Amino acid sequence: MTDLPERLFLNPVWHALHTRHREFAVEADEACRYPADVAPFAAVATSNMSAMRELASLLAPEEAVWIFAEEYLAVDELNRLETLKCLQMVLPEEVMPPEREMDLVRLSAEDGPAMVALTDVAFPGFFRSRTYAMGSYFGVRLEGRLIAMGGERLKLDGYPEGGYPEISGVCTHPDHRGKGYAASLIWEVVRKHRRDGDVSWLHVGAANRKAIELYQRMGFVTSREVTLHRITRSGRDVPSGY
């Protein structure tokens, strides 16, 4: 497989929160979001004024979340802060993961604070106190300290062709980079997906050439480019009924 179904992946947060991550969904009819302590992502079923206002009703004042949208629909209740271009990459099923080469540990809720601290070095704000609950996470410890990690974030069902768990949270402390930890952790997640009959995929910033080159060397191929918008609830009151 070298493509990710457009019907799912142009709006992956919506489909994750209505399938494998339904237990996390905070909803308001045409809008939904993850709890703030799980992930900074939200979605609308379709891009229309009503749905965007419903989305605003789910946010705390000045709280920021990310949404997927090729064309952003502005409403008074929301402010757009920035836009990010990302690639969705998928690992073809014919690419086989190598044998495990280093000691990795399965992370748990007890590792939550250490996981937040590590990811805040690379991408602050994306990994929250309960992000670990979104899927399985693996790590590398050195002298009891977590120095590298990776795992799963968004999870979608394929209606009915299987599951699509996203590889995410791949991070190595700057003092320990260049030792192959990232690739080893990604392959560990891939092994889990292959055992479960799932498809491995990920998001990467379109400008992050170093990461893209690593994923390409591992065999990942680009499915499409998507656009994310970071938005916040404005100071205006959301109309009642939304």
- Answer yes or no: do 116 and 204 share one domain: yes
pTM of the full structure: 0.93
Q: Are 152 and 190 in contact (CB under 8 A)?
A: no
Residue 118 forms part of a structural domain? yes
- Answer yes or no: do 146 and 160 share one domain: yes
pLDDT for 236 equals: 61
Number of domains in the chain: 2
Spell out the residues 6+ positions from residue 117 whose beta carbon is closer than 8 angstroms to its own. Answer: none
Domain holding 25, by residue range, is: 6-85+226-233
pLDDT for 3 equals: 84
Residue 1 forms part of a structural domain? no
Residue 122 forms part of a structural domain? yes
* Among candidate residues 120, 178, 183, the one with its CA nearest the CA of residue 146: 120
pLDDT for 240 equals: 41
Rounded CA-CA distance 124/181 in Å is 20
3-class SS of residue 154: strand
Residue 239 forms part of a structural domain? no
| pLDDT averaged over 10-residue windows placed end to end, the chain, 242 residues | 86 97 97 98 97 97 95 96 98 95 94 96 91 98 96 89 92 95 98 95 97 97 98 70 35
Spell out the residues 6+ positions from residue 169 whose beta carbon is closer than 8 angstroms to its own. Answer: 115, 119, 127, 131, 137, 149, 150, 151, 153
Helical pair 181-196 and 209-218, crossing angle rounded to 10 deg: 50
Residue 10 forms part of a structural domain? yes
pLDDT for 242 equals: 32
What's the CATH code of the domain at 46?
3.40.630.30
- Answer yes or no: do 74 and 94 share one domain: no
pLDDT for 34 equals: 98
pLDDT for 123 equals: 86
- Answer yes or no: do 100 and 219 share one domain: yes
